[in-house]
Structure 1
C-alpha cells in the first residue's frame, strides 16, 4: 500500500452512525507558508489513510500563530491564498473535510480564519469572533472580529467564487446516509467565552460535530483546564468536539505551545495526544448517540428564527469531478487505494470498543465510590419510606443468593440511619423443593453476623397441600410446580409483615425486571423494591464491596454468596446436593443482557448496532452466533414481559437506566416485538 493511499467510499457497507475524526498538529516554521502547506497536506493524507472523514488543524497553521505584525504584510497574505489554492488542487480526490488556519484580508480588515475544505472545494471561511487582547495575546492589533462583517458576506478566494466569510457557519453533509454529519467550526478563544458560538450552531442548526482550530500557549495547570473545557462543552451540546492545538515550530519568544489535541463526545474524552508532540488524535465518534441524547432530553430546545447569524453550508465528501463515480476508490498521486467503509462506519469497523459492563466503572477507585453512592441511595430511599409510614420493622426473604443478600445489606443500613434496632429486621429462610444446604446455611450465618432476627419457615407442606387443592401432580415439574413455591413464599412474607407491622422488602433487580424473570404476584411484588434500579452485574460488585467493608466472617459469607450460581432454587438439587437450576443456563449470561439493556434503554440503539457492538466488546468470550441467540431472547422476553413492569412496586432509581413505569420507561404491555426480531433475523 502506498503511503498516499486514502480510504474510499463503499456505498454498500453497514453503518452504525460512527464518524472517524482526527485532530493533528503539523510541524511548521513561522512565515514559511509553502513549507507549512506541505506539512498540512501530509496531515490530510495521514488522516485519510486512517479512514478519518474530518480533520481539524491548529489556528493559523499555514503561517504560524506567532507571526505578529507580519499578518499585515501583503506578501504573506498573497502567499496564503496561493498555498490554499494548491492544497485544494492536491486534495480533490481525498474525501476528508479539513481546516486550514490562515489570515484573510477582506475590505479594510484582516480576519483570523479557518478555511474549511473538502474534496477540492473551499466550503467556507469560518471567522474568529472573540479576539484576546490581554497579557501575551494581542490579536486585536492584527485582526478584526467576525462581528465586524456584514451578514451574508461572500468572497472570491483561492480560485473559488462566492465563498461564505462569517462566524457560525455549519457545514452540512448532503451525501446519502450521512445527513446527520453537521460540522460547526469555532476558533480557540471562542470556546473560552461565556457563550461560545458552538452553542448557537448546535441549537439553531443542529451541528453534531464541532472543530476548534486553536493556538493555546502552555502554562502550568492549563492542560487540565483545557480538557475540562472541551469535555464540558461536548457534554452541554451532546456533540463530538475535536480540538487541535498549535505546537512545534511556533515562536518561543515569549510563549511555548505544546500541541495538545483532544477529541471528546458527550462529556467523555475519547482521544488525546501527549504534550510537546506533533501527533494525531483519532477517534470514532457516535453521531447517532449524540442525536439520541438530544431527542431524549426534554431540556434540549432547538431554536429557530434569525436572531443568531448561523448559516448552513452544504457539502459532499465527493468532488464534483468524481460525483458520477462515487464508489470508485480514491486516488492520490495516481495511485488507487482499496475500498474501505463509507462516511459513517460500522461498529465492527471501528476503533471504538464499548465496555463489556457498561454499568460498572472500570477504575477501582471509581467503582468503590459508585458502590458507596448506590448503597446510600438505596438505603436513603427505604429510610424515607419507612419514616413516612412510621414503619419500624421490615420483612425480607433471605435465600442466600445475591439479590436478597444485597437487599438485606441495604435494609440494615437504612435501619442504622433511622437508629432502629436491627432485631426489627426479620430475615426469613423458606426452604422449598430446590433449596440447597449451601444457600440456607449462608442465609442463617449472614443474619447472625448482621444481628437481625432470623426465622426458618419451610414451605414444602403448604405447597403440597396447594397442589392437592388445584389437582396438580407434584411429579410434573413445570411452571406451576415452580411458581406455586414462589407465590407461597411471598404470601408468608406478606402475612408475617402484617404480623410484625413491617414492610416486605423486594429483592428483584433491574436485569430480572428487563427479562421478566420474576413470578407474577410472587417475588414480583413487595412494599418497596430496593434493588429495582440495580442491574445484576452491578449487584455482584456491590456485594463484593460490602465484603471488603465488613471483613472477617461476614466477608467470608458474602464471598461464598458471590461464588454461588444464580438460581431461584425451585427445582430439586442434583444427587450430590448442588444447585440444579441455573438462571444463566436458561435465560443467558447476565453480562450480555446488561450490555443489551444499557444500550437499548440509554441510547435507543437498534438490534443490528447492538449486535455489532457486542461482537467487538465480547470478542474471544462469546461467538457471534451465541450473542445473536441471546439478543433475540432478550428482545422476545423484554416485549413479552412488559405487563409485569407496568405494575411494579416503588423502588429507587440509582443510575441513568430505570424501568419504572411511573417515569423512565412507559411502554404498552401489548407492544409487538416483530420489527426488532425481523432485524435480528436479518443478521443471521
Structure 2
C-alpha cells in the first residue's frame, strides 16, 4: 500500500455446476492462496458459487439455499483474511420476491454489501431475463447468512487506510451496455472497478473484451479487474475460458486465458487520483450519488510485479515501436511544414554536428520538404568545426548532408571564436563555461545570419531531455526559429534515428551506414579540445545516463510522483544495472538541474508536442524560474 500501490487479483476457481459445497471449497482455497501472495483485493467470477450455467435450476429453492450455505462456509473459512473479495451468487429479495444476480463483497467473515447486476442479456446464447431481475435502481436490505446486508446498485466500498481506494462493482454485461454502471460509480469516486463475469469464448471475442476493459479503464481513469468464469462451467452449448484481465488507465497490466487460478498485478491508486485531479474535464458527482461502506486494510508494503519499463517513452514491443517512431516523425514534420508554409521560408537552416540530435532534426526537415514537394537542396546543412570537433563527427555530418541532398556549407568558426575570446580577454587555456558557451553562441549566430541571407528559418536541434536538464547554452543552441526536437526525449531520439536507418537500409545503404555510425558515437557537444582525435567531453559522464534522466522526467513531470516513489520505481526498473547509491546520485542531480534551469525553458522557441510530456511554457509546463528544489532534495536525503 506504500506509495499508493495496492495488489489486486482476478481469480478463476475450477467449479462444478450446481455443486455449491465443492465450489465453496475451491473458492476459499483460492482466497487463501491470494492472501499468501499479498493480494488485498480479489475479484472472482459471476455466479461462481453455483456456476453461471445452471439454467432453470436458478428457480429451485434448493440451489438458492445451497448457495447461501456455501457463502456462509466461505465467510467462516476466511474470517481471518484481511483481503476484500467479491464473488458471485444468486440472491432472492423476500420483499419483492425477485431473484438478483449479485456480487457479494466480503471481508473478515462479514458481507460488506451486495451489488446486483443491472444489465441482463437476453439475446443470442443468453437467457438471464428468464431467471433474474435487473438490479438497476434497487436499494434494499436483505438478510443473508444471518447478516443484514445492503442490496443496491449504488454501493461503493471505501478504504479508511488508503483514502484514494474506493471500490465499485459491475457484473459482466454491465460493461457491454451503452452506459455501464461503472461510469456513475467512477464519477462518484470509485478508483477501482471489479467486474465479475461469465463471458463465453468465441473466435475474436477475446480481443473485443480486452479492448472494452482497457478502454473503460482509460475512459474512467481507474483500475479495472475483470474475472471471468472458466473450467467447470457447463459446455452443453458454451465454452468459458477464464479470460482474466487487470488494467489501469488504458494499459493492460496482467492477463490470463484458458486456465484457472490467479491473475495478479498492482494498481497505482495515487497515479489515478493525480490524473483525475489534473483533468478538469473529469466531472464528479456528489457523495449522495452512491452509498459508501467503509472497510479497513492493515497497512503493508506491496511487492511490485507490474511492468515498469526502464524506457517509458519507448514502446517495448518492436512493432509498436516502429509505429510510434513513424507517427512521431510525421507529427514533427507536419509541424515544421506548417511553419515553413506560413513564413514563406525559402530555406531551412540546420546546424549539422554529426551527433544524434542534429541528425534527427535534418531527417525531420527532409520529410517536411517532401511533404511540400520541395527539393532537399532547400535545406542548408551547416557544419561548424571548432576546437572539439573530431574527424568522425565532421565526416558523418558531411556524408549525411550529401546522402540527403542538402546544400552543404562548412564554416570553421575557430578563428572567429579566437577573435571573440581576445575581445573579452578569455584565455584559450581556460576551458571554463565561457570557453564552451562562446563556441555554442558563435554557431547560433552563424546559423541565424545564414537564415537571414537565404530568407530561411533556423531549425532547432535540442531535445526534451536536454531541456529538462538545461543542457544547452542560453541563446546558443537553446535558440532557433522552430525547435522540431523539443518534445522528443533522448532515448526516443536514438530509436527514431535507428528506425530511419533500418527503413533506409535497402533503398540507400550508404545513408543507413552513416546513421548507424552516428548512433554509435558518444553523445557530446564537442566544446572541449579533442584528445588524440577522440571526443573528450562525454555528456553522460557529466550529467548522468540519459536513460535514467528520461525515466526520472517521465515520472516526476508526467505523473508528479514524489522523489521517494520515483526512486522506488527506478530501483525496480534498473535494479540489475544501477545500485541505489548511483540512482540517488543522478536523481538528486536531476532535481537540482531541473529546478535551476527553468529560466531556459521559460523562453523556448516554438516546437511541436509529440508525446505525453512537454516543457513548453505555452503548453504543458508552467513553473517559476526561481522555484526552489529543497523540498524534493530533502526527501531524498534520508534514503541513502
What are the Cα deviations for residues 291-325 of structure 1, in whole angstroms up to 9, with x where unaligned? 2221222321112275x5x211111236xxxxxxx
Could you say what secondary structure the match of 2:2 adopts?
Answer: coil
> 2:440 matched to 1:486?
yes
Taking the aligned partners of 2:50 and 2:376, their CA distance within structure 1 comes to 73
1:631-653 deviation per Cα after TM superposition (whole angstroms, max 9, x unaligned): 00000000000000000000011
CA distances 1:368-419 after superposition (whole Å, capped 9, x unpaired): 1111111111111111001001112111111111111111111111112112
| Aligned match of 2:278 | 296
Residue 168 of structure 1 contacts residue 198 of structure 1 at CA under 8 Å; is this kept in 2?
Answer: no
Shift of 1:630: 0.3
Q: Return the offset for 1:343.
A: 4.7
Deviation at 1:283?
Answer: 0.8
Query: Residue 166 of structure 1 corresponds to which residue in structure 2?
Result: 152
Alignment of 1:334-349 (within 5 A): 342-343=299-300, 345=302, 349=303
Corresponding residue number in structure 1 for 2:199: 216
Of 248-257 and 39-48, deviating more is 248-257
For the Cα contact (< 8 Å) 2:355–2:523, is it kept in 1? yes
What corresponds to 1:115 in structure 2? Answer: 104
Q: Is residue 233 from structure 1 mapped to residue 216 from structure 2 by the alignment?
A: yes
Alignment counterpart, residue 320 of structure 2, candidates 366, 373, 382 = 366
Partner of 1:589: 545
TM-score, normalised with respect to structure 2: 0.97
Looking at structure 1, the residues matched to 231 and 281 of structure 2 have their Cα atoms a distance apart, in angstroms, of 42
Cα distance in 2 for partners of 1:272, 1:429 equals: 51
Give the match for residue 655 of structure 1. Answer: 611
Tell me the equivalent position of 2:526. Answer: 569
Distance 2:515 2:232 in 1: 60
Write out per-residue CA displacement over residues 467-517 of structure 1, whole angstroms, 9 at most, x where no aligned residue.
121122221110011111111111111111111111011000000000000
Is 563-572 or 130-139 further displaced after alignment? 130-139
Q: Where do residues 529-568 of structure 1 align in structure 2 (5 Å cutoff)?
A: 529-551=483-505, 552-568=509-525
Q: Partners in 2 of 1:236 and 1:135 — Cα distance?
A: 28
- Residue 569 (structure 1) shift: 0.6
Among 466, 472, 476, the alignment partner of 1:518 is 472
- Gapped runs of 5+ residues in structure 1? 1-13, 319-341
Report the equivalent of 1:614.
570
Q: Which structure exhibits the higher relative contact order, with contacts defined as CA atoms closer than 8 Å and separated by 6 or more residues?
A: 1
Q: Matched residues in 1 for 2:202 and 2:496: separation?
A: 42
State whether structure 2 residue 295 is matched by structure 1 residue 315: yes
State the partner residue of 2:389: 435
Deviation at 1:155, TM superposition (A): 2.1
Q: Is the 8 A contact 1:119 1:317 kept in 2?
A: no
CA distance in 1 between counterparts of 2:382 and 2:197 reads 64
CA distance in 2, matches of 1:294, 1:55: 24
The one-character-per-residue Cα deviations of 1:406-436 (angstroms, maximum 9, x if unpaired) are: 1111111111211222222111111111111
Q: Determine the C-alpha separation between the residues in 2 that align with 1:373 and 1:631.
A: 31
| 1:92 has 2:79 as partner | yes
* Structure 2 residue 364 is the aligned partner of structure 1 residue 410: yes
* Contact residue 168 and residue 186 of structure 1 kept, 8 A: no
Deviation per CA, 1:574-606: give whole Å up to 9, x if none. 1x2100000000000000000111111221111
8 Å contact kept, 1:485–1:570: yes
Mapped partners of 2:257, 2:65: distance in 1: 34
Q: Does the Cα contact within 8 Å between 1:168 and 1:185 map onto a contact in 2? A: no
The alignment status of 1:203 with 2:187, answered yes or no, reads yes
Between the aligned partners of 2:510 and 2:152, the Cα distance in structure 1 is 70
TM score, norm. by length of structure 1: 0.91
Q: Is residue 2:486 matched to residue 1:499? A: no
Encode CA deviations 1:50-86: one digit per residue, 9 max, x unaligned: 1100111111111111222222222222222222222
1-side partners of 2:379 and 2:53: how far apart?
71
Deviation at 1:148, TM superposition (A): 6.2
The structure 1 residue matched to 2:337, chosen from 383, 390, 409, is 383
2:27 match: 40
Q: Distance in 1 between matches of 2:301 and 2:197?
A: 26
2:11 equivalent in structure 1: 24
1:338 matched residue in structure 2: none
